[in-house]
Amino acid sequence: MIPYGKQHITHEDIQVVIDVLKSDFLTQGPVVPNFEKALSTSCGAEFVTVLNSATSALHVACLALGLQPNDCVWTVPNTFVASANCALFCGASVDFVDIDPKTYNISIDALELKLKLAKASGRLPKIVIPVHFGGEPCDMGAIKVLSNKYGFKIIEDASHAIGGRLENSAIGACQYSDITVFSFHPVKIVTSGEGGAALTNDSSIDHKLKLLRSHGITRDKNHMEFPKEYGWYYEQIDLGFNYRMTDIQAALGLSQLSRLNDHVKKRHEIAKNYDEHFVKPEITLPYRNPKNLSALHLYVIQVDESMHNYIFSSLRDKGIGVNLHYIPVHTQPYYQKLGFKWGDFPNAEKYYRQAISLPIFPTLVSDQQNLVIESIRSLCDV
């Protein structure tokens, strides 16, 4: 089976993990801050906090921005459930904004209209979480303009987008956002096994992120209520979590990060090959804004709804592990119990009924690409 995504682990990756296993620190050692420093340099954000998952990063990002139980977070329906769950973890509510059918990202027009209505009813969001779907950057400049007008905070869910660029700025630089979150899950562009990161340019947000990552405990006398000179002394000053990343994970992530540009370049080569062979009226290709650089975590085509299940199952039968990203969050049973229903966000629902994620990862060889191409073209000609 050719998977839709797959990690690329090299001898160097294995060796750095072995080096940590032989060292004095498996966790809370020097490799975690080294990984954070490398991410800061790569992405251009001043502060980085790495965590055990992007889900954890989204959770503490909401808390660091002061999300309270009476607040609301808005995100998009076509994302992994963590983008919405993070609000519920904080006791807040969640709502959705439909997507642009061309970009698969949050619709700026729909967002602006929803904000106008929310202001009139006194129910503006505390935080908006745009998702760079498939690695294609959202229109963050437009979202920032609306943020300034309506007073919400911005968390970029860039779980798909490390290595991408928004015009001349790296995704993760937080040029238009308060916090950017990355995922280092094995199918992502850079992996640490499991892991995530929260990036910001605000020192007070960074302090809160790092505090919440580790039980709300500090050893920094500047933040203690009753500072003492004892080397063993610490204080819990907030209610935090055990969301730490290990040095083992950080070593793998740091090694992977050194090949980030090569990984993105290879994904673009595969996408170009797909683009050239899928020029057929039956296939809608993924949009890429020429002003930006997509990280191309996903390559999603759309086919007619009447053919979708047939093409999807036929490709699986041929050993091509296509996938679907995503079932709209608001249609999940848990969210339907919260009052959402089919028909609430028609663009995301139509996309779901037509979308197929094709294999794309750095080690996808030409013969495998050709099998994907030939199989889809033949199925579309039926």
**Predicted pLDDT at 231:** 83
Whether residue 295 is found in the same domain as residue 213: no
The Cα–Cα gap between 30 and 35 comes to: 9
210 plus 276 within the same structural domain = no
Helix, strand or coil, per DSSP, at residue 362: coil
Co-location of 113 and 238 in the same domain: yes
Which helix (H) or strand (E) is 268 found in, with range? helix 260-277
Strands 72-75 and 320-321: unpaired
Phi, psi at residue 192, to the nearest 5°? -120, 20
Host domain of residue 134: 2-257
> Helices (DSSP H) in 46-183: which residue ranges?
54-64, 82-89, 108-121, 140-150
Pick the last residue of a domain from 202, 223, 257.
257
253 and 272 assigned to the same domain: no
Preceding peptide of 243 cis, ω within 30°: no
Q: Are residues 194 and 331 in the same domain?
A: no
Whether residue 29 is found in the same domain as residue 115 = yes
Answer whether 278's CB lies under 8 Å from 253's CB.
no
- Of 223, 257, 291, which closes a domain? 257
Distance, CA of 36 to CA of 33 (rounded, Å): 5
Q: Does residue 183 come out as left (phi exceeding 0), alpha (psi in the -120 to 50 range) or beta?
A: beta
Give residues with Cβ within 8 angstroms of 82, minimum separation 6.
54, 55, 58
What pLDDT is attached to residue 229? 85
Q: Is 196 helix (H, G, I), strand (E, B) or coil?
A: strand
CATH of the domain at 243: 3.40.640.10
Residues 221 and 276 in one domain: no
Name the DSSP letter for residue 293: B
pLDDT at 280: 84
For 158, the 3-state DSSP assignment is: coil
| pTM, two decimal places | 0.97
Are 96 and 33 in a shared domain? yes
Final residue in a domain of this structure, among 209, 242, 257: 257
For position 367, which CATH number holds? 3.90.1150.10
Q: How many domains does the chain have?
A: 2
* Residue 159 and residue 294 share a domain: no
What is the pLDDT tens value at each position of the chain, 382 positions in all?
Answer: 999 999 999 999 999 999 999 999 999 999 999 999 999 999 999 999 999 999 999 999 999 999 999 999 999 999 999 999 999 999 999 999 999 999 999 999 999 999 999 999 999 999 999 999 999 999 999 999 999 999 999 999 999 999 999 999 999 999 999 999 999 999 999 999 999 999 999 999 999 999 999 999 999 888 889 998 888 899 999 999 999 999 999 999 999 999 999 999 999 999 999 999 998 889 999 999 999 999 999 999 999 999 999 999 999 999 999 999 999 999 999 999 999 999 999 999 999 999 999 999 999 999 999 999 999 999 987 5
- Give the pLDDT score at 38: 98
Q: Which two tokens stand for residue 379?
A: 């199925």
Which tokens go with 170?
């790296």
Please check whether residue 152 is in contact with residue 95, taking contact to mean a CB–CB distance below 8 angstroms.
no
Instruction: Indicate if 361 and 212 belong to the same structural domain.
Output: no
The answer to whether residues 234 and 287 belong to one domain is no
For residues 237 and 300, membership in a common domain is answered with no
